[in-house]
């Protein structure tokens, strides 16, 4: 290897000793622990099934809706350890989301009628699919309250795009993707006029209010939704609820259920029975069966009308051209889930005891034969329930959502009222097992269980209520996700996981090995656009420029300093700071904030981020790095000096530290001693096959960088010493030592890594 003359630091080397004296506690046996903690054999078995030993990783990664937090919660299965919150619709300070300019631009895409909306009611995450199987590239999630869809790139787990639905006022049946992620489906919930900012009275519900299903075109290469090629299918003012896309034989079709097909209008203040009474009065509602491929062709052929500048396929066209069909579903349906082979569609009815399994083949046969039992008031053909049903299975009270097992014909359905999960055979139509959950389960989720290739193994019950399961934390309880082992005939409850961030509605879980996120960006990347950031600079190219009252800083971050260390401004100046993290080592993120100016950024290795603010008050404002990034992290700071207009300095030069020749010599000796230790670490690293470990290579590169800077500082202290300027000489010698410290920090981490990962000796 190149000149890698590292010198470690006594302070870092001494740490490894001194822990050996504590071996005494391992004397307790398993039996002792069971007794002391009052654990049963069952508990132990459950623990063994969920425990992921220190240093090991989970088999699956779950992406949970964050409910009202507007975020996504990422956790591992089976450990149920939370790994990250993904900032989506809501500002999140750790990630700088909504506090730096680049992420603000993403949040701003979600403005509605010019208004910033800083929260979301997220319901359904969806992982991108290829041929119906999770491919681990992208994640989508909807916002029910403010009809929007967000796109998250799983290369860096960052939100890249928010699109606002141009015609809905609320939505629920999204995000669901088609088999090859051609489209992301989003269905409305509460009917409203499709035209924006247009009033019609409730009396005109039947004529002027509409539902719909939007098909957002996804451009996989760009990693973004293309709104121009997206369209909406106008639907009757039934309350569209959930959706799912067909796959295999049903690819090209999608299914959206609905409730309140009564089109009931409540109004208790006018003496009318409430919505809940009127909306569930009839025995059936309608599943919408949609030929989206045909719809896309019709839109291309110019059959859509523009509403709010967006293509909407009119109801008459869909009814006439064979795009939209309805099939009755039992009482207040909820959940519509296509089987892995694409042949069946399971629907739960909140006020029914059955799950209804529809056959796609039968639906097609009825359509082909033109066999319809009626038309709805909008002229949409209705297929008879009997002509579409494969089977109905009595499961229990309040069946909602269904997920599939890796075993053929096996499905799981949540029973809200019974607080149970039913395991059943949807081919034969029989119940196989039931298990109680705590309490009032909404969605449930099996591993990749809504894809064409479910993995079985585990099921998570997303319980709406936790009640008594956890240590009380006040009237607002956490949610309870319960992990259930489904690998055997009988289901086994393994673990309760409190989720303290909104009400998660749905979760999707993918095999961890399918995710391949990066650990750093190409230097100078704007992560929100995936393009080179115009404010990026390399080491030594940092600039601060002032034009009129605009100050622009192009700075860098590397352990342990921010360049520049001073920003001078006058009251009223507008300050833009672009910062590039120059680190290559994994996990060396720096943060950046300026006291009392409400800006913050998280700058991961390679990233460039911009913060902007107006220096509207005179004073002295420290800025600093907010991530504990090295032993000298606390020194990673600088001052923003905001001077009054026309201010003139009265004093020049800084106070002397009073360093003498003795101080300088002591520092030089410290540097020499440190070098000896560094050399031994370098000796070790270069004696093994460190080049086979990319993480170590990155650390070595960073350490080499640090050491590369020593030369300049050394020249400076020697030149100052020659002039007997002991102050400058000592300080520059100290700086040499700082570079050593940082290099040693990396070197020791690399050494530990190599020792723990079985590095082998190599011939020199």
Residues lying near ligand CUA in the complex (CB under 6 A) are found at 590, 625, 627-629, 633, 636
Rounded to the nearest angstrom, the gap between the alpha carbon of residue 497 and the centroid of all alpha carbons in its chain is 19
> Please, what is the minimum distance in Å from the beta carbon of residue 504 to ligand RUQ?
10
Alpha-helix runs per DSSP H in 168-278? 205-208, 275-278
Decide which of ligand RUQ, ligand CUA, none touches 148; Cβ closer than 5 to 8 Å per partner kind.
Answer: none
- Residues 372/381, Cβ–Cβ less than 8 Å: yes
> Please, what is the minimum distance in Å from the beta carbon of residue 542 to ligand CUA?
16
Q: Which of 84, 169, 73, 82 is nearest to 125 (CA)?
A: 73
> Please, what is the minimum distance in Å from the beta carbon of residue 579 to ligand CUA?
11
Which is nearer to ligand CUA, 92 or 583 (by Cβ)? Answer: 583
> Please, what is the minimum distance in Å from the beta carbon of residue 149 to ligand RUQ?
14
User: Residue 724 burial by CB count (10 A; 0-12/13-18/19+): exposed, middle or buried?
Assistant: exposed
- Residues 313/303, Cβ–Cβ less than 8 Å: yes
> Please, what is the minimum distance in Å from the beta carbon of residue 631 to ligand CUA?
10
> Please, what is the minimum distance in Å from the beta carbon of residue 443 to ligand RUQ?
5
Please provide the DSSP assignment of 381-446 as one string.
EE--HHHHEEEEEE--SSEEEEEE-SSTTEEEEEETTTTEEEEEETTTTEEEEEEE-SS-EEEEEE
Decide which of ligand RUQ, ligand CUA, none touches 251; Cβ closer than 5 to 8 Å per partner kind.
Answer: none
Decide which of ligand RUQ, ligand CUA, none touches 168; Cβ closer than 5 to 8 Å per partner kind.
Answer: none
Decide which of ligand RUQ, ligand CUA, none touches 567; Cβ closer than 5 to 8 Å per partner kind.
Answer: none
Decide which of ligand RUQ, ligand CUA, none touches 400; Cβ closer than 5 to 8 Å per partner kind.
Answer: ligand RUQ
Which is nearer to ligand CUA, 318 or 589 (by Cβ)? Answer: 589
Decide which of ligand RUQ, ligand CUA, none touches 334; Cβ closer than 5 to 8 Å per partner kind.
Answer: ligand RUQ
Tokens of 583: 């680190």
DSSP 3-state of 514:
helix
Decide which of ligand CUA, ligand RUQ, none touches 612; Cβ closer than 5 to 8 Å per partner kind.
Answer: none
> Please, what is the minimum distance in Å from the beta carbon of residue 68 to ligand RUQ?
12
Point out the residue whose Cβ comes nearest to ligand RUQ: 442
Decide which of ligand CUA, ligand RUQ, none touches 636; Cβ closer than 5 to 8 Å per partner kind.
Answer: ligand CUA
Q: How far apart are CA 589 and CA 604, in angstroms?
A: 4
Please provide the DSSP assignment of 129-185 as one string.
EETTEEEEEEEEEEETTTTEEEEEETTTTEEEEEEE-SS-SSB-S--EE-TTSSEEE
Which is nearer to ligand CUA, 345 or 523 (by Cβ)? Answer: 523
Cross-strand partners of 576: 552, 612
Integer-rounded Cα Rg, in Å, for the chain is 31
Which is nearer to ligand CUA, 423 or 590 (by Cβ)? Answer: 590
Q: Which of 599, 507, 701, 582 is nearest to 80 (CA)?
A: 507
Tokens of 292: 């989206």
> Please, what is the minimum distance in Å from the beta carbon of residue 144 to ligand RUQ?
7
> Please, what is the minimum distance in Å from the beta carbon of residue 652 to ligand CUA?
31
DSSP 3-state of 566:
strand
- Residues 139/193, Cβ–Cβ less than 8 Å: no
Tokens of 70: 């507007």
> Please, what is the minimum distance in Å from the beta carbon of residue 90 to ligand RUQ?
18
Decide which of ligand CUA, ligand RUQ, none touches 123; Cβ closer than 5 to 8 Å per partner kind.
Answer: ligand RUQ
Compute CA distances 395 → 331, 361, 399, whole Å.
15, 24, 7
Which is nearer to ligand RUQ, 104 or 505 (by Cβ)? Answer: 505
DSSP 3-state of 517:
coil
- Residues 551/545, Cβ–Cβ less than 8 Å: yes
Decide which of ligand CUA, ligand RUQ, none touches 7; Cβ closer than 5 to 8 Å per partner kind.
Answer: none
* Residue given tokens 């989003």 in the structure block: 186
Which is nearer to ligand RUQ, 336 or 357 (by Cβ)? Answer: 336
Q: Which of 77, 70, 235, 272 is nearest to 152 (CA)?
A: 70
> Please, what is the minimum distance in Å from the beta carbon of residue 416 to ligand RUQ?
7
Decide which of ligand CUA, ligand RUQ, none touches 633; Cβ closer than 5 to 8 Å per partner kind.
Answer: ligand CUA
Residues found near ligand RUQ in the complex (CB under 6 A) = 123-124, 172, 242, 334, 400-401, 442-443, 505-506
Which is nearer to ligand CUA, 493 or 636 (by Cβ)? Answer: 636
Which is nearer to ligand CUA, 163 or 562 (by Cβ)? Answer: 562
Q: Say if strands 310-313 and 231-235 run parallel, antiparallel, or are unpaired.
A: parallel
Which is nearer to ligand CUA, 90 or 602 (by Cβ)? Answer: 602
> Please, what is the minimum distance in Å from the beta carbon of residue 293 to ligand RUQ?
25
Which is nearer to ligand RUQ, 138 or 506 (by Cβ)? Answer: 506
Q: How many CA atoms lie within 13 A of 682 on its CB side?
A: 23
Which is nearer to ligand RUQ, 99 or 412 (by Cβ)? Answer: 412
Which is nearer to ligand CUA, 51 or 628 (by Cβ)? Answer: 628
Which is nearer to ligand RUQ, 353 or 593 (by Cβ)? Answer: 353
- 543 upstream amide cis, omega within 30 of 0: no
Compute CA distances 579 → 101, 333, 558, 723, whole Å.
12, 52, 10, 36
Which is nearer to ligand RUQ, 441 or 537 (by Cβ)? Answer: 441
Decide which of ligand RUQ, ligand CUA, none touches 629; Cβ closer than 5 to 8 Å per partner kind.
Answer: ligand CUA
> Please, what is the minimum distance in Å from the beta carbon of residue 582 to ligand RUQ?
44
Positive or negative CA dihedral for 202, 203, 208, 210? positive
Decide which of ligand RUQ, ligand CUA, none touches 443; Cβ closer than 5 to 8 Å per partner kind.
Answer: ligand RUQ
> Please, what is the minimum distance in Å from the beta carbon of residue 123 to ligand RUQ?
4
DSSP 3-state of 603:
strand
Decide which of ligand RUQ, ligand CUA, none touches 627; Cβ closer than 5 to 8 Å per partner kind.
Answer: ligand CUA
């Amino acid at each position: 290897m190149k000149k890698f003359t590292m010198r470690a630091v006594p302070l870092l080397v001494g740490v490894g000793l001194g822990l050996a004296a504590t071996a005494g506690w391992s004397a307790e046996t398993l039996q002792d622990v069971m007794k002391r903690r009052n654990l049963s054999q069952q508990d132990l078995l459950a623990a063994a099934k969920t425990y992921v030993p220190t240093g090991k990783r989970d088999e699956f990664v779950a992406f949970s809706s964050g409910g009202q937090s507007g975020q996504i919660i990422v956790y591992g299965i089976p450990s149920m350890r939370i790994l990250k919150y993904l900032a989506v619709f809501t500002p999140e300070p750790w990630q700088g989301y909504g506090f730096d300019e680049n992420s603000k631009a993403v949040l701003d895409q979600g403005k509605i009628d010019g208004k910033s909306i800083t929260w979301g009611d997220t319901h359904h995450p969806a992982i991108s699919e290829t041929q119906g199987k999770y491919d681990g590239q992208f994640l989508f999630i909807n916002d029910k309250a403010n009809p929007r869809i967000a796109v998250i790139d799983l290369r860096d787990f960052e939100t890249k795009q928010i699109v606002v639905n141009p015609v809905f006022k609320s939505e629920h049946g999204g995000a669901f993707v088609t088999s090859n992620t051609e489209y992301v489906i989003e269905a409305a919930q509460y009917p409203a006029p499709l035209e924006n900012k247009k009033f019609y009275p409730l009396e005109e519900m039947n004529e002027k209010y509409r539902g719909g299903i939007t098909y957002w075109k996804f451009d996989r290469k760009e990693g973004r939704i293309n709104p121009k090629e997206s369209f909406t299918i106008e639907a009757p003012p039934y309350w569209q609820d959930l959706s799912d896309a067909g796959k295999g034989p049903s690819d090209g079709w999608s299914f959206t259920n609905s409730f309140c097909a009564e089109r009931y209008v409540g109004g208790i203040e006018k003496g009318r029975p409430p919505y809940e009474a009127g909306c569930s009065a009839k025995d059936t509602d309608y599943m919408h069966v949609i030929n989206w491929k045909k719809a896309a062709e019709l839109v291309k052929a110019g059959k859509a009308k523009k509403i709010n500048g967006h293509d909407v396929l009119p109801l008459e066209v869909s009814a006439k051209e064979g795009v939209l069909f309805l099939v009755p579903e039992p009482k207040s349906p909820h959940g519509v889930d296509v089987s892995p082979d694409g042949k069946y569609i399971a629907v739960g009815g909140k006020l029914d005891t059955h799950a209804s399994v529809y056959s796609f083949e039968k639906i097609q046969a009825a359509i082909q034969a033109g066999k319809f039992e009626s038309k709805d008031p909008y002229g949409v053909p209705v297929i008879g329930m009997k002509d579409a049903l494969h089977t109905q299975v009595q499961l229990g009270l309040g069946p909602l959502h269904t997920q599939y097992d890796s075993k053929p014909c096996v499905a799981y359905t949540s029973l809200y009222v019974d607080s149970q999960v039913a395991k059943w055979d949807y081919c034969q139509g029989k119940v196989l097992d039931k298990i109680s959950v705590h309490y009032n389960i909404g969605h449930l989720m099996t591993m990749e269980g809504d894809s064409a290739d479910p993995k079985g193994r585990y099921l998570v019950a997303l319980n709406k209520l936790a009640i008594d399961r956890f240590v009380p934390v006040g009237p607002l309880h956490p949610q309870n996700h319960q992990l259930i082992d489904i690998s055997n005939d009988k289901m086994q409850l393994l673990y309760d996981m409190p989720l303290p961030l909104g009400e998660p509605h749905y979760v999707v879980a993918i095999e961890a090995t399918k995710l391949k996120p990066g650990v750093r960006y190409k230097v100078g990347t704007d992560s929100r656009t995936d393009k080179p950031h115009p404010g990026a600079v390399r080491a030594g190219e940092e600039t601060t420029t002032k034009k009129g009252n605009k100050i622009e800083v192009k700075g860098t971050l590397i352990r342990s300093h921010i360049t520049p260390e001073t920003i001078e401004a006058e009251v009223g100046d507008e300050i833009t700071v672009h910062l590039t993290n120059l680190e290559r080592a994994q996990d060396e993120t720096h943060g950046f904030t300026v006291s009392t100016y409400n800006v913050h950024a998280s700058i991961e290795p390679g990233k460039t981020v911009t913060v902007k603010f107006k220096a509207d008050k005179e004073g002295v404002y420290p800025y600093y790095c907010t991530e504990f990034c090295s032993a000298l992290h606390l020194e990673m700071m600088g001052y923003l000096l905001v001077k009054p207009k026309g201010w003139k300095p009265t004093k020049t030069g800084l106070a002397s530290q009073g360093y003498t020749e003795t101080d300088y010599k002591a520092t030089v000796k410290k540097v020499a001693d440190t070098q000896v230790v560094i050399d031994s670490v370098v000796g070790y690293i270069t004696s093994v096959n460190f080049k086979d470990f990319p993480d170590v290579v990155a650390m070595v590169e960073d350490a080499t960088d640090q050491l590369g800077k020593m030369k300049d500082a050394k020249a400076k202290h020697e030149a100052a010493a020659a002039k007997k300027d002991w102050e400058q000489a000592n300080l520059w010698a100290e700086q040499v030592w700082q570079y050593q410290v940082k290099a040693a920090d990396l070197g020791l981490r690399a050494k530990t890594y190599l020792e723990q990962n079985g590095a082998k000796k190599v011939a020199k």
